[in-house]
Each structure stands twice: as structure tokens, then as C-alpha cells.
A and B are shown apart, each in its own frame.
Chain A
Amino acid sequence: MQVLVDGIVLGAGYALVAIGFALTYGVSGVLNAAHADFVMLGAFAFILFAAIGLPLLGAVALALIITSLLSGLLYILVFKRLGSTRLLAAFVASLGLSMILQYGVARVAGPDLTMVPSITPVASIELLGMFVTYRQIAIVGAFIVFGIPSVAIVRAQNLGSAMRAVSESETVAAMLGVNVGLVKFGTLALGGCLAAVAGVVLGNYFGAVSPFLGQTLGLKMFAAVLAAGLGRITGAMAIALGLGLFEAFVVRLWGAGLQSLGAMVLIVLVLLIRPQGVWGTVRRAG
């Protein structure tokens, strides 16, 4: 049963990341390969603000705000200039951004692991016969407080319908008075915020973060999003949760060395059986 707890915790963390990635793609069409690096950036921003003596909660809040703004800034500086038709160019640019973030942070903070200040007590409590640490509760809590509402926003009235309209047709949405640029900026900022939340709670859970955290995390995020079908936000969330559970079982059975196995198996299975993803629709090649 303990493995179930570990799985749900991992899955909730992955889901936080995958939701932001799928959301950004779904609304703005930008396949932001640098998204997982914003998780790392959020964690490092938190470490920095905590190190300069801010109270922990203030450091978390500031890290979320800064990371969201930086993510939104990417839209203004890069993706907006590429327009809404050059999606491949935006993807390639995001690959470059990913390198800038990973190696830039490694240059400043050092390429090795950096300790993350603890925001929760190390202790655990007993829940339904299972031991759950406060660090694990923080991840699931962050998923419930930030992740699920983000999915709900897209399905909601006003704001959500503006997002869905932009996703459907930018030109028509703009004609009907939707501020397309603002919606896209907001979506990227929301994605950055979710990534930063994940960075803080995952960093708190693991105790230390590496500037290259985004590489392995990115692979899991790609796996979840490819498997769900691009732009399927709820689907990506569900698959990320499932992936976390699967990984926890793999780690329990064969050890931590094979933890990334799930993501790889998932990618290969999807490519072989259903390339458009579980909930994806077929689009023409090219």
C-alpha cells in the first residue's frame, strides 16, 4: 500500500508539470520544450530568495511570481515574434531556451545538486494505515490547489472560453474582442506558475535540485503529453498520474535505476500503437 502513496505523490508532481505544458500548447500552439526547465528555475528562484533571508512563504510566493513573469516574458520576447503559424520555429526556439536555462543556471549555481530549504516538517503522519510524510502531502496539496483549478479554468466560462476561442481560431477570437496576446501571455505565465509550484514542492520532497532536472522531468512530461495526444490537458494530467504510479511500482520491484523505464516504455508503446495519442485526433503528416 505504501507504494500507492509514493506513486500518487510522484504522479501529482508530474501532473503539475504536464498540465502546464499541455495548457501552453493547447492555447498558444507553442510546444514549449523549455517548460520542464521552468520547474528547475522555480526551485532555484526559491532557493535564492530563501538564501537572502526572506521568510519561506514569502520566498515561495516571490519564486512563483518571478517564474510566471519570466515564462510570460518568453512569449513577448520570442514566441509572439514568431507569430501563430510558425509553430516549428517556436519549438526550435524553445529548445534553445531550454539550453540557456539549464546551462545558464549551472553556470551561476554550479552544475551539481543544490540543497533546497525545507518548507515542511520532515515528520510523517499515519493515514489509513499508511505513512505519509508532510513533504508528500505538500506535493498532493499543490496539485489540488494549483493543478486541478488550472484545468478547471480552461473549462470555465469567461476566461476559459476566451482561451478555448484562441485555441480554436485566433483570427475569429480577435474579431470577437478577445485580447489574443493577453490570453497567450496569461497562459504562458500560468504554465510558468504551475512549473514553479512543482519545482518548489518537488525540490522540497527530494531535498536538492540539479540545473539539469528538466532533462529527465522533460522526458516524462513529453511521454505523458504524447501519450494523451497534444493539447489534451485532462488526458495529460491523467497519464502523468498513471506514470507516477507505474514508476513507484517499478522502483519497488526493481530499484531506482529503472525509474525512467515507465516513460520510455510509454513513448515506445504510443509510437507503435497509437501515434496520435490516446485522445488525439489524426492529422495529416507533414
Chain B
Amino acid sequence: MDSYASSILVSAGINMLLALGLYLVIRSGQFSVVNVSLGVLAGYVSAWLGASGSVPALFAMLSGVLLAGLGGVGISLLLRKMDGLTFGLATLALGETLGIVARLGFPGGGQGMFGVRLLDQPQVAVGIALAICVIGIAYYERTFLGLHALAAGRDSVAASSVGIDVIRARALAFGFGGIVSGMGGVLGTHYVGLAQPGDFGFAAELPVLIAVLLGGSRSAVGPVAGAAAVMAMQEVFRFSAADRFWILGLFLVLIVLLRPNGMLPATRIGARWPRSGDSATQTGPAQGEA
């Protein structure tokens, strides 16, 4: 396989992992924009532990992933009383805060950590991680835990009235989402060989958020396809680095205008155009303007 195709595949796989992590969190009704930052945090931990050379690389990577998972549980519990909008704002603030903390106190400071150990076979590593996550998520979605998270995402009041522990289901969903995002972040850090403070915050989240909104959060297929589509779009149009973010921003606004319910869990693709007899499957706020 030539190196161009290989690099595309690896980047696509990493973006799919990040999108799946975000999908798990949004699916449970928690609109987070901090997931990629959690992944970057995991990458930092792995790079820092790995740099000492005293622990095996795999152990360093798993520590990062685990920390991202615990971070997810922690954020979910911390923000459990917030409604959707405040939750989003708080996660936005947390992501930006991580960036500032990283500039001040993380190894490498404002420059970031260079020379992070590179993966020997990135395609294999990303392939294995993606396979684990897809199988794991497919299983999770069929367990009570996964169904409870989805119920909490669709209507938290109805869910708790039938005895579902919404806080627990959401905390675990954010934990699993953190683990999956953590895998993406760790692999990304070791693939690029660089962990830098600029990767925290909303800009890095942008392509992943677009992937999830584009693909829809009805099933895990959506975010994976969405990540592939965002990747393909970037390759086809080949925007310069300077143009990349404003174009992605414009794209996000257009997606929101076309599919305004896309950030709610389990919205069917094309839900803006309901068919007759479809009203029962509509989720989220009323379609018409009040």
C-alpha cells in the first residue's frame, strides 16, 4: 500500500474513533464538545509516560485511554444537574480551560511535546482499535446499559419515571465515550508524533462534530460514515491549512440549518422532512416555530 493511501486510511480511522466516542456521549443526551480534548489529554498522558521509557508503550497508551474514560465519568457526574444547553457551554469552557492548563503546566509547555514515539504499524493499530470499538459498541447498544443510555438521551424524564438511573447511564455512556475518544487521541498523538496545547478546545472538535451531525446519531454506522465523508471532503477540496477551519465552520452552520435536530440522539437521517404517519418517531422539540 502506498504511503498516501496508508496515511488517509489511518487518519480516517482515527477520526472514526473520535466520532464514535462523541456519538456514545450524544446518544445518551449529553451534548459534549469536550470529547476530542479528552482524547488529546489521553495522548498527552501516553506520550509523557512513554517518554520516560520505564513503562511498556502499550501500558502507557492504555493508561491514557483509561484516564480519558475516568475523565468522561467525572465530567458527566460534575455536570449532571445541567440542562442540555448549559452542559454544552460548560464542556466548551472545560475544553478551552484544558488548553490553557496545558500551555502553563503540561510537559513541553506552550510548544507541546515533540518526538513522541511513533507507531510501528499505524494501520494495524488503528484497525485493531476500530474493530474493538465497533464490536464493543454493537454489543453495548444491545445491553440494558446501552438501552438505558439511549432512553435517557431521548427523554430523561420518561426514562427516570420507568426506573432508569439516568445519572448512572449517562455517566457510564460518557465513560465509554471517553475511552473510545481516548483511543483516537492516543493513536493520533503517536501517529503524528506530537502532542500540543493547540489541539485542545473547540477547533479540533469541529471536524468530529460535523462527522456526527452529518452521519446522524441513530446508530454507530452514522458517525463512521460521517467521519469518512468529512475526510473525503477534505481530500477532494484540499483546502489550505489557513482555509480549513472557516470552511468547516461554514459547513457546521449549514448542517445545523439543514438538520436542526441532528444533535439530538437517534434522529433519523432526513428527519426534517417527516413522512405521513411518522410523527411518533419524531424526537426532540416541536418542528414548527412557536
Are A275 and B81 in touch, CB under 8 angstroms?
yes
A68 contacts chain B at the CB level, 8 A cutoff: no
The complex places the Cα of A286 from the Cα of B286 at a distance, in Å, of 16
Which of the candidate stretches A1-9, A59-67, A88-96, A134-142 sits at the interface with the other chain?
A88-96
Residues of B within 8 A of A148 (CB): none
> Is B250 a contact of A230 with CB atoms below 8 Å?
no
Interface of A is mostly: helix
Q: Does B256 contact A (CB under 8 A)?
A: yes
In the complex, whether B181 has a CB less than 8 A from a CB of chain A is no
Contacts of A107 in B (CB 8 A): 242-243, 246
Bound-complex Cα distance A253 to B203 (A): 32
Let me know if B104 and A285 touch, CB within 8 A: no
Let me know if B256 and A286 touch, CB within 8 A. Answer: no
Q: Does B140 contact A (CB under 8 A)?
A: no
Beta-carbon nearest neighbor of A264 in chain B: B97
Whether the Cβ atoms of A170 and B290 lie closer than 8 Å is yes
Contact B85 A98 (CB under 8 A): no
| Contact stretch, chosen from B36-44, B47-55, B258-266 | B258-266
> Shortest beta-carbon distance, A67 to chain B, in Å?
18
Tell me whether B246 and A99 are in contact (CB under 8 A).
yes
A260 lies within 8 A of B100 (CB): yes
Pairwise interchain contact B86-A226, C-beta atoms closer than 8 A: yes
- Do A96 and B245 form a contact, CB below 8 Å, given A88-B84, A285-B80? no
A276 within 8 A of B: yes
Q: What is the CB-to-nearest-CB distance from A16 to chain B, in angstroms, rounded to a whole number?
A: 19
Whether a CB of chain A sits under 8 angstroms from the CB of B248 is: yes
**A88 pairs with B253, CB closer than 8 A:** no
The reply to whether the CB of B106 lies closer than 8 angstroms to some CB of chain A is: no
| Residues of A with C-beta under 8 A to B56 | none
Residues of the B chain whose Cβ atoms lie less than 8 Å from the Cβ of A83 = 260, 288-290
Q: Which of B89, B252, B262 contacts A222 (CB 8 A)?
A: B89
Is A240 positioned at the interface, with any CB of B under 8 Å from its CB? no
* A100 pairs with B101, CB closer than 8 A: no
CB distance from B40 to the nearest CB of A (A): 16
Give Cα A264–Cα B94 distance, bound, in whole angstroms.
8
Question: A26: CB under 8 A from chain B?
Answer: no
Cβ of A223 within 8 Å of any chain B Cβ, yes or no, is yes
Residues of A with Cβ closer than 8 Å to B? 31, 33, 78, 81-89, 91-93, 95-100, 102-104, 106-107, 111, 170-171, 215-216, 218-219, 222-223, 225-226, 230, 257-258, 260, 263-264, 267, 271-272, 275-276, 282-286
Known: A267-B93, A286-B156. 18 other contacts (CB 8 A): A78-B257, A85-B290, A86-B285, A88-B31, A92-B88, A92-B263, A98-B249, A99-B249, A99-B252, A107-B243, A222-B92, A225-B89, A226-B90, A283-B83, A284-B157, A285-B80, A285-B83, A286-B157
23 intermolecular pairs with C-beta atoms under 8 Å apart: A31-B89, A82-B257, A85-B289, A89-B262, A92-B31, A95-B33, A95-B202, A95-B206, A95-B249, A99-B245, A99-B252, A100-B249, A103-B243, A230-B85, A230-B89, A257-B104, A263-B97, A264-B97, A264-B101, A275-B81, A284-B157, A285-B82, A286-B157
